[in-house]
Structure 1
Amino acid sequence: MNTLILKTTSRFLFTLLLLLSVFLLLRGHNEPGGGFIGALVAVGAYALFALAHGLNAARKLLPLPPLRLVGWGLLVALVSALVAFFLDKPLMTGVWFSLFGVKIGTPVVFDIGVYLTVFGALLSAIFGLEESAHTQEGS
């Protein structure tokens, strides 16, 4: 789509949706929300941006390719699950520690891993669908 209103509002909504996504991620271990729903909101933000500005513009906003984010997300989730195991506690038991004066728990770290995994997988699928739609239009 090539409308001025969509292009203008998508920039504002992109930022707003990403902020909402991070809010949902960080509040999720105590209240409704978490890594899964936060990632869905972030994917919606990128899909809207790609719809308004094109796939290449949306890809430039990503720090890593989507499938690489899936790998990092799985690694972060696995590490958070194994922390308790190495402390002779049951697997995936919550462990809290202080990092730079901030108390962080493994449930939050696990949610971050889920966020990255879902975000990368869904964004990869959406980008792939968008690419195939453009390929079919061109033929």
Structure 2
Amino acid sequence: MNSLIFRTIAPLLVVVMLVFSVFVMLRGHNEPGGGFIGGLIAASAIAIYGMAAGPAAVRVALKVDPLAIAGLGVVVAGLSGLLSLAYEVPFLTGLWGFFHLWGTDVAISTPMTFDIGVYLVVLGTIAAVVLGLEEGE
């Protein structure tokens, strides 16, 4: 797209969409949202940036191949399920750990890490497809 207005506003829109996608992903196991929807929002941001700046600029900005991001997501999601086997409970059983960080307790859970894995899988897969389609023109 060769519009000056779109090329100017796209980077700001991408930042807002990426922050919102992380918010939706982290809120997902308590309210509507989650890794899938957050990943779709992030992939949409990448598609918008690709339309404004071109796929080569997106690949430079990502610094990592999108399929590598998807692979990392599969590993994170799989490890969050396998962690439950170490505690001799069924696969994908939710586990919580609490860490004291800067005067507050931070809860880390396997459902959250699974959501992060799904987020990365969806982001990487959709970004790879979008970039492939944009480069094929």
How far is 1:100 from its partner? Answer: 5.3
Matched, 1:105 2:112: no
- Between 1 and 2, higher relative CO (CA 8 Å, sep ≥ 6) is seen in 2
Corresponding position of 2:95: 95
Residue 123 (structure 1) aligns with: 127
Query: Who is 1:23 aligned against?
Result: 23
5+ unaligned residues in a row in structure 1: which ranges?
Answer: 134-139
Trace 1:45-56 onto structure 2 (pairs within 5 A).
Answer: 45-56=45-56
Residues 15-24 or 96-105, more deviating? 96-105
1:3 and 2:9 matched: no
What whole-Å deviation, never above 9, does each CA across 1:89-129 have from its counterpart, x for those lacking one?
11100000124532110000000000001111111011111
- Following TM superposition, where does structure 1 have runs of at least 4 consecutive aligned residues deviating by more than 6 angstroms? none
> Identity of aligned pairs, percent?
46
Per the alignment, residue 72 of structure 2 pairs with 72
Distance in 2 between the 1:127 and 1:106 partners? 31
Give the drift of 1:131. 1.2
Q: 1:61 corresponds to which residue?
A: 61
Seen in structure 2, the aligned counterparts of structure 1 residues 61 and 100 have a Cα distance that, compared at 3 Å, is: farther
TM-score (norm 1): 0.92
Residue correspondences, number: 133
Query: Distance in 2 between the 1:72 and 1:99 partners?
Result: 24
Change (3 A) 1:103 1:63: farther
* RMSD of equivalent CA atoms: 1.0
CA distance in 2 between partners of 1:64 and 1:111 (Å):
21
Q: Secondary structure at the match of 1:50?
A: helix
Is structure 2 residue 33 aligned with structure 1 residue 33?
yes
Moved more, 32-41 or 100-109: 100-109
Q: Which runs of no fewer than 5 residues in structure 2 stay unpaired?
A: none
